[in-house]
Each structure stands twice: as C-alpha cells, then as structure tokens.
Amino acid sequence: MFVRKAYSRSFIYLKSNPNYFYFHPKETAMSTNFIFFISSLFVLYIAYTIPKPEQHQPKQTNLVVYVHDYFTGHDTSAVTVAGKSGPDFSILQFGSIAIVDDPVTEGPTIESKEIGRAQGSYINSQLDGKGLYMVFSLIFTDGDYKGSTLEIQGSDIFSMKEREFGIVSGTGFFRFVKGYGIMQTQFMDIPNLRAIIKLNVTVKHY
C-alpha cells in the first residue's frame, strides 16, 4: 500500500513537472566540449610520453681504390670468353664477353697493398667497340672493410676521361647501400689490353 502511494506521488510530481529530465542545450554542448578537451589532452600526453623508436641516420663513406685489369701477361686477371669473331674475338669488339678477377689495391701501382678483388663480367655493348657494360662485385679481403662487398653496375665508355657508374647493393659494412662512383683510366696499354682503373666511390649506408 505504501509503495503504491509513493509511486502515485512520484507520477503526480513528474506529470506536474514535465521538464524534470530535460537537459538544456547549452549545458549539453559545454559538457561535450569539456569531454572532448580532456580526451585531447589525454591523447597528447600519450603521444609525447611513449618512447619513440630510435631513427638511425645514414652514414656517408668515400673511398678510392685501383683496379688492375690485365688481359695479357704473366699476371693475367681477365679473359675474353665469347665473341662473334670465333677464336679471334677481343673484348674491344662489339658482342664480346669477358670474365674478370682483378686485383684491387690502395694505390695506383701493383706494388700497393691489395685490399680486394673485382670479380664479374664485361660485355662489349657498343657497336663501335668503345663501350663496355660491366657488372662486378668489389670484394674487400683486407683493410677497414674486410668481408664486405659493393655491387657495381654501369657503362664504361673508356674513350671518356671520366665515367659514372652505380652502386646497386652491398653486404657487411655496406648493407642497405646506395651510391655512385667515378671511374678514370689511370693507365692504358691498348695493344696488350692492360689497364689500371681508378674508382672514386661515394655511398650512403647504415
């Protein structure tokens, strides 16, 4: 009986006060803005307090080496393996292919300290015979970069004083490398196919 009377009184009160559950629009907007403001502060706090992963900047390395490319002599390090002229083919003829395992030294003379090998191939890809397409690995066997490699690719138009080539990848010290190099002929003996090539390499790596 008491519950019924209390319910009746509440119903009468609500009926006589229809705005009991009414929220004023301005108050609602202020509450929403306040919640949004607090949420934004929380997000900013999280963003600035969570440790950020360390960002490593690439290192730049410049090195100069000398490649001794000898097709004749007791110290031959390169050989022409295919060409269009049968047994008389030469790397100076269009279409010829050579395989190389050239010594790489710190200085321009063969007596300089050997720090690696240049292993790969040349293809004479120019109709007049004056340009080679080269792909080879610069393999460091001694010095600061021992055990590392640089992969070299590009065009060698040997009649030009300077030729630019690309560094397309690397290993060891030169992982994730990118860069370029400038090639210059230090010495050239065309009749005997003997040359010393200077490589000035600039690379960025991690």
**Would you give the DSSP letter of residue 40?**
H
Given the DSSP bridges, would you call strands 162-171 and 132-140 parallel, antiparallel or unpaired?
unpaired
As a whole number, mean pLDDT of residues 166-181 equals 95
pLDDT for res 26: 53
pLDDT for res 6: 46
More confident residue, 70 or 9: 70
Q: Give Rg (Cα) of the chain.
A: 38
More confident residue, 4 or 39: 39
Query: Which residues make beta-bridge pairs with 119?
Result: 101, 137
97: its two tokens: 């292919």
> Is the predicted pLDDT of residue 179 greater than 70, yes or no?
yes
pLDDT for res 47: 64
pLDDT-derived band at 162 (thresholds 50, 70, 90) equals: very high
pLDDT for res 56: 74
pLDDT for res 45: 67
pLDDT for res 89: 80
pLDDT-derived band at 111 (thresholds 50, 70, 90) equals: very high
Q: Which of 71-75, 115-119, 144-148, 157-161 has the lowest mean pLDDT?
A: 157-161
More confident residue, 86 or 143: 143
pTM of the model: 0.73
E-state strands within the chain: 59-70, 78-82, 97-105, 114-124, 132-140, 149-156, 162-171, 178-189, 194-205
